[in-house]
Amino acid sequence: MSSDPHQEWHRTQAIEANNSTWEWLGLPAAERTADDEEAMTQAAYAASFHWDRAARRGPENRVRADWLLSRVWAVRANGTAALYYADRCAQGCAGANLHDFDRAYAHEAKARALACLGRIDEAKLERELAAAVPIADNEDRALVEADLAAEPWFGI
């Protein structure tokens, strides 16, 4: 089955924007400038925009775009925005009946956002829930564990 070339273009742009976001997220916080943080945020929003229009998109693409936006806002220490996107991520998982990898990341996003807001007990609970999600694929489990170990955790 052939896909719409316009939707294929959006898919390519979504992947490019997603990968660009990770280039900035991969930098130590002390090395990111204010301009880098703005570009990182714009790239995450661009990824989200393009995933909504991409060929062969599924509900996991929407959920992962919301997760990425939550992470970007957490890294920028904006807990309110991070929690907004973490909640969207969790709602998307529930609505599409996504489990495993995506469910773990929904909890991880909420934990990080809550930690950013200083809601430590709630953050710790969400972090424990993320770690407890059974993930069948060993590579996916390793990704989740690495992200659960990665900063920022705002002191928890």
- Say whether both 43 and 75 belong to one domain: no
Looking at every residue in the chain, the average pLDDT score rounds to: 96
In angstroms, the CA 105 to CA 152 distance is 15
> Same domain, yes or no, for 39 and 79?
no
Whole-number Å distance between alpha carbons of 32 and 23: 10
146 lies in a domain?
yes
For residue 48, tell me if it sits in a domain: yes
**pTM metric for this prediction:** 0.96
Rounded to a whole number, what is the largest CA-CA distance in the chain? 50
Query: Do 6 and 68 lie in a common domain?
Result: no
Residues 15 and 67 grouped into a single domain = no
In this predicted model, what pLDDT tens digit does every residue of 51-101 receive, in sequence order? Answer: 999 999 999 999 999 999 999 999 999 999 999 999 999 999 999 999 999
Residues 143 and 95 in one domain: yes
- Whether 38 and 107 share a structural domain: no
Give the structural domain span for 18. 1-57
Residues 41 and 63 in one domain: no
17-40 as b/e: b if 16+ CB within 10 A: bbebbeebbeeeeeebeeeebebb
For helices 34-51 and 5-25, give the axis angle rounded to 10 degrees: 150
3 state SS of 140? helix
- Distance CA(65)–CA(84), nearest Å, equals 13
